Amino acid sequence: MSSGPSLAAHRPFVRHPLAHAVVLACLACAALPAAHAQTTAPAAAVQVDIPAGTLDQVLNRFAARAGFMITIDATLTAGKTSPGLAGRYGVGDGLAAILSGSGLQAVGQAGGGWLLRAAAPQAPAVVQADSAGLPAITAVANQLGEVTEGSGHYTPGAIATATRLVLTPRETPQTVSVVTRQEMDDFGLTTIDEVMAHTPGVSIVTYDTERTEYFSRGFAIQNFQYDGIPMRRDSSYSAGNTLSDMAIYDRVEVLKGATGLLTGSGEPGATINLIRKKPTREFQGQASLGVGSWSDVRGQVDVGGAVDEAGRVRARGVAAYQQKESQLDGHERKTAVLYGVVEADLTPSTLLTVGADYQNNDPKRSTWGGIPIFAADGSFNDQSRSFNNGADWSHWDQYTRTVFATVEHYFDNDWVLKAQFNHQINGYDAELGSAASGFPDPVNGSGVSTWEGKYVGKTVADAVDVYASGPFQLLGRRHELVAGGSITKRRWTNRGYWAGSTEIADYGAWNGQLPEPDWDALTPSRNRETTRENGLYGAVRWNLRDDLKLISGARVLNYDGPDIDESGVFTPYLGLVYDVDKRVSVYASGTTIFMPQSAQTEAGKTLDPQEGRNLEAGVKAEFFGGRLNASAAVFHLKQDNYAEETGGLTPGGGTAYRAIDGVSTKGFELELSGQVAPNWQLHAGYSHKVSRQDGEKVSTLTPENQFSLFSSWQPAAVPGLKLGGGARWQDKTWGTVSHPTLGSVRHDVDGYWVVDAMASYRVTPRLTARLNVTNLFDKKYYTIFSWYSTYSWGEARAVALNLDYRF
């Protein structure tokens, strides 16, 4: 069996009537005028040094280096290898050399790009433009790296998250964990929470039903990117970032450590980069329907292809809808997703991409905080997993609206100029009531009161990023440079209504019935904050020797936000990679980031921004031509100018702070992803970290040790069958919480294992059925939120059945 089904095997390249209707809808969504120019990749020669590997990996790496797009059918390349390619080649010559002896040929298309097909007897490996069509796509490369959709793998090809240079994981001197489209499809990962649970070194803390927080290396992850464009999250006023549906994304990349080179400000733990799906030249379509535990129903449609006969304009549309109840009494959530994207070849060397996405998350009976940890007698307040502290009218609606555009121009000297624009709205409408404050009396149920508040607001963010990337010669060697600049503006507005609290007569009989406050009678507090960032950045990958590469770079940032104005902030980046042999490299890197803060001293002076630093060293290896990647890293993160309360007041009467050396985290991470044997995919990782401040352990709500392993196997004896499973483990966590008689105490949470399982069967070449079971052994576990002194139960066993039809 091939690693993935062909999406339209043995069909001519024609515009399907359904495809035509969908792509026209995408055109309307993206507001793109029709383009009438053709495109091909620049024909100029490019210097490459691509190691031996599987044929599709070598082809994709050459496409990424030379800046062109190639369409591949996995059934043609299955089992084929290539000795690689080294030297200076034009696109046609390079493809001919790679395909020599393979029995395949690359066909240059009149509309641009290349298609792979079986070679006719005595035919050359490369032929000129041909109007005949070929099977559907499985993999392409672009300036964001290699597309994982259709690859069948749990490991990425080239990526560009760290520096905007398109590099393989082994060439990147920083830890990057990637969850591919194939892993998401196999395990039914439809939400970003589920993807983060599969990501090594990332832990999740649940605040309430609509809010989670991700942590890496001891720090909360507040930096998100969408196709490489930075956007920040405010977890206190959550507005969609951690409810993102995965229907529209090709992969999720998590860059560990400080990321100031490209993100500017933020925490030093990690950055999450969500890479959207791209249009395809060939028509492809997919419709899926799933049902599962707690009345879970989900439908999804994904259709794309060429708009014109020549394939110069391509579009894709995705729609998904899910309605799901939960293990909590009365809680349910409806999620609606729409996505449209169009690519147009404006000239033979210029590509325009425009698109938009939309998501609504509409829950009922949302919780606010969790269950109080202690009862009034000091015992653990052990409520059932179905207990819901939310009022029957409580909800925390969240939504996102995004429009984006990208222009890429390829020059004849192998340089690329790229401009990106992203306009995003993250909003929320929350009317919240919950029985979460106090300590319930186990006898009569007294002692608990509610929180009742309403919050309506949104963040409107605009970002522009322009950069150029390409090679240059110095001292007889070819090096790579990326240089650019970015501007961002974020406007947050909020109205907050606090209605006080209500004493609950009998907590044990709580069923959510609570009079809703008259919000219109309350006077709201108002927030209006604008933050502006702009900066210049650059990085050079110095080819010191054939086996030694140095990446040096920096960003100079200007930041203007509430109560703070910083100019000329310098954040350097330095990385060194030494190739021990053709498979193994050792590396070391140092990166920084900064985080503005509004805290003031007793003299009224605003503290300097917090400064985060990441030092990392490790070993990376790739096997089977990059189909299997392994890494081992040790790291030390430190955050200085951390704000600590002094016990005094500012001149304005606020809490006063002083700056101290902040949290220091030391640890190591191990990760393995990809094909460990034919028809066997695996993604596993182990991480260890200890965070301290002034010698005391901190960041203890997240585990010091955690392990994850997810794998799938296709037995050759049963064609079409795939079996898989996985487990994740974390050791104990703890936090300081309120106790009814002892005041502040440490509360420990035991470590736990959670096991998942999956099985899928290709009923026909187009229809696949998949069964997923999460928390197979129904492990009962919880996480705490020490700020509220509450806890939340993890999800019980859930079963989901999905039917997927490709056309």
pLDDT exceeds cutoff 60 at 627: yes
Q: Give the model confidence (pLDDT) of 72-88 as tens digits.
A: 776 678 778 888 888 77
Token pair of 290, please?
Answer: 């799933």
Residue 83's SS3 state is: coil
Q: What is residue 64's predicted lDDT score, i.e. its pLDDT?
A: 72
pLDDT exceeds cutoff 50 at 403: yes
Token pair of 161, please?
Answer: 């998250």
* Residue written as token pair 């515009």: 15
Q: What is residue 693's predicted lDDT score, i.e. its pLDDT?
A: 86
Range of weakest confidence among 125-139, 495-509, 631-645: 125-139
63 versus 95: which is more confidently predicted? 95
pLDDT exceeds cutoff 80 at 316: yes
Q: Give the model confidence (pLDDT) of 696-720 as tens digits.
A: 888 899 999 999 999 999 999 999 9
Strand extents, DSSP E, 296-415? 296-306, 313-325, 332-347, 350-364, 371-372, 395-410
Strand extents, DSSP E, 562-609? 564-579, 584-595
Mean pLDDT value across residues 547-567: 91
3-state DSSP percent of the chain in helix, strand and coil, to 5: 10, 55, 35
Q: What is residue 25's predicted lDDT score, i.e. its pLDDT?
A: 45
pLDDT exceeds cutoff 70 at 23: no
Range of weakest confidence among 69-83, 425-439, 612-626: 69-83
How many Cβ atoms sit within 10 Å of the Cβ of residue 240? 25
Torsion sign, CA atoms 577, 578, 581, 585: negative
> 800 falls in which pLDDT band (50, 70, 90)?
very high
pLDDT exceeds cutoff 70 at 289: yes
pLDDT exceeds cutoff 80 at 136: no
Q: What is residue 755's predicted lDDT score, i.e. its pLDDT?
A: 98
pLDDT exceeds cutoff 80 at 55: yes
CA 315-355-397 angle, to 5 degrees, is 125
How many Cβ atoms sit within 10 Å of the Cβ of residue 759? 16
> 376 falls in which pLDDT band (50, 70, 90)?
very high
3-state secondary structure 312-338: CEEEEEEEEEEEEECCCCCCEEEEEEE
Q: Do 363 and 209 touch, CB atoms closer than 8 A?
A: yes
Q: Do 664 and 635 touch, CB atoms closer than 8 A?
A: no
pLDDT exceeds cutoff 80 at 645: no
pTM (two decimals): 0.84
Please choose, from the candidates 418, 553, 535, 424, the residue with its C-alpha nearest in 3D space to the C-alpha of residue 486: 535
Q: What are the C-alpha distances in Å from 480 to residues 50, 64, 163, 350?
A: 16, 14, 11, 21
Q: Name every residue whose Cβ is closer than 8 Å to that of residue 404 and which is 6 or more positions away in sequence.
A: 226, 227, 229, 353, 354, 355, 356, 420, 421, 422, 423
pLDDT exceeds cutoff 90 at 386: yes
Q: Give the model confidence (pLDDT) of 204-226 as tens digits.
A: 999 999 999 999 998 899 899 99
Q: What is residue 31's predicted lDDT score, i.e. its pLDDT?
A: 40
Q: What is residue 106's predicted lDDT score, i.e. its pLDDT?
A: 85
Q: How many helices (H) and strands (E) does the chain have?
A: 7, 49
CA 255-261-264 angle, to 5 degrees, is 95
Q: What is residue 13's predicted lDDT score, i.e. its pLDDT?
A: 31
612 versus 120: which is more confidently predicted? 612
Q: Which helix (H) or strand (E) holds 630?
A: strand 628-640
pLDDT exceeds cutoff 80 at 681: yes
pLDDT exceeds cutoff 60 at 124: no
Mean pLDDT value across residues 508-533: 94
At position 667, the amino acid (one-letter code) is G
% of the chain exceeding 70 in pLDDT: 90
Please choose, from the candidates 674, 666, 241, 772, the residue with its C-alpha nearest in 3D space to the C-alpha of residue 458: 241
Q: What is residue 618's predicted lDDT score, i.e. its pLDDT?
A: 97
pLDDT exceeds cutoff 60 at 553: yes
Which residues sit opposite 573 in a β-bridge? 553, 591
Please choose, from the candidates 612, 718, 627, the residue with its C-alpha nearest in 3D space to the C-alpha of residue 672: 627
> 56 falls in which pLDDT band (50, 70, 90)?
confident
Most confident of 15-19, 591-595, 663-667: 663-667
What is the 8-class DSSP label of residue 379? Answer: S
Mean pLDDT value across residues 610-633: 92
Q: What is residue 40's predicted lDDT score, i.e. its pLDDT?
A: 35
> 413 falls in which pLDDT band (50, 70, 90)?
confident
Q: Name every residue whose Cβ is closer than 8 Å to that of residue 526 and which is 6 or more positions away in sequence.
A: 493, 494, 495, 496
Please choose, from the candidates 343, 260, 256, the residue with its C-alpha nearest in 3D space to the C-alpha of residue 308: 343
Range of weakest confidence among 384-393, 463-472, 531-540, 691-700: 691-700
Which residues sit opposite 85 in a β-bridge? 50
Token pair of 713, please?
Answer: 């196997």
At position 339, the amino acid (one-letter code) is Y
pLDDT exceeds cutoff 90 at 93: no
Mean pLDDT value across residues 632-646: 87
Mean pLDDT value across residues 242-266: 91
Q: What is residue 619's predicted lDDT score, i.e. its pLDDT?
A: 98
Q: Share the mean pLDDT of the chain.
A: 87
End-to-end CA distance of the chain: 19
* Residue written as token pair 């597309």: 147
Q: What is residue 233's predicted lDDT score, i.e. its pLDDT?
A: 84
Q: Name every residue whose Cβ is closer than 8 Å to that of residue 521 and which is 6 or more positions away in sequence.
A: none
Spatial distance between the Cα atoms of 689 and 217, rounded to a whole number of angstroms:
6
Q: What is residue 646's predicted lDDT score, i.e. its pLDDT?
A: 79
Range of weakest confidence among 130-139, 314-323, 344-353, 355-364: 130-139
At position 566, the amino acid (one-letter code) is E
Q: What is residue 421's predicted lDDT score, i.e. its pLDDT?
A: 96
Q: What is residue 141's predicted lDDT score, i.e. its pLDDT?
A: 62
Q: Do 305 and 16 touch, CB atoms closer than 8 A?
A: yes
Q: Which helix (H) or strand (E) holds 6?
A: none
Range of weakest confidence among 49-63, 177-191, 586-600, 762-776: 49-63
Q: What is residue 565's predicted lDDT score, i.e. its pLDDT?
A: 85
Spatial distance between the Cα atoms of 249 and 275, rounded to a whole number of angstroms:
6
pLDDT exceeds cutoff 50 at 4: no
| Burial environment of residue 573 by CB neighbours within 10 A (0 to 12, 13 to 18, 19 or more) | buried
Please choose, from the candidates 748, 761, 773, the residue with its C-alpha nearest in 3D space to the C-alpha of residue 803: 761
pLDDT exceeds cutoff 70 at 122: no
> 139 falls in which pLDDT band (50, 70, 90)?
very low
Spatial distance between the Cα atoms of 543 and 52, rounded to a whole number of angstroms:
20
At position 321, the amino acid (one-letter code) is Y
Most confident of 115-129, 171-185, 582-596: 171-185
Please choose, from the candidates 431, 439, 433, the residue with its C-alpha nearest in 3D space to the C-alpha of residue 371: 439
pLDDT exceeds cutoff 50 at 5: no
Q: What is residue 262's predicted lDDT score, i.e. its pLDDT?
A: 85
Most confident of 225-234, 291-300, 405-414: 291-300
Q: What is residue 635's predicted lDDT score, i.e. its pLDDT?
A: 96
Token pair of 490, please?
Answer: 């974020």
pLDDT exceeds cutoff 90 at 467: yes
Most confident of 255-264, 575-584, 608-617: 575-584
